[in-house]
Amino acid sequence: MLGLLSVGDVDEAIDVLNRSYFGNAASLFTGSGSDARKVRHEADVGNLGVNAATAAPMAFFHFGGRKDSFFGDLHAQDEDMIHFYTDKTVCIERWPNA
C-alpha cells in the first residue's frame, strides 16, 4: 500500500510524519539539499528515502520502523540486534548528476 499526501512546505511534511502513530518509512522527492537535510534530521521514521524509494535494499538494513510500526522485541538485523536501545534512521539518498 502506498500513501501520498501533498503538503505546503517541508515543515508541514515533517509535522505530518511525526504526528503519525506509525514510523516505518517515508520518501521525499526534492531538489533542495537543505530540505533533504532537515527531513533527515527531524523526521521520526526508521527508513527514509531522499529521491529514492525506502524499501530496505540490503539485508543489513533494519526494517523495524519506529513507533507503532515496530514489531517484536528488537530490530532483527545486523548491529541493531546489539544496539537494543538505539533509535536509528536509515537514509538512502539519490541525487541526479548536474
Taking only the tens place, the pLDDT of each residue in 30-66 is: 899 999 999 999 998 888 888 887 655 555 555 556 6
- What was the pLDDT predicted at 14? 94
Query: Are residues 91 and 26 in contact, defined by beta-carbon separation less than 8 angstroms?
Result: no
Q: Which three cell numbers stand for residue 63?
A: 526494517
- The answer to pTM > 0.75 is no
Q: What residue has cell string 532483527?
A: 76
Q: In what order do the strands lie in the sheet with 47-50?
A: 25-28, 47-50, 90-93
Q: What percent of the chain has pLDDT over 70?
A: 61
Pairwise CA distance, residues 10 & 32, whole Å = 10
Pairwise CA distance, residues 63 & 7, whole Å = 26
Pairwise CA distance, residues 98 & 85, whole Å = 40
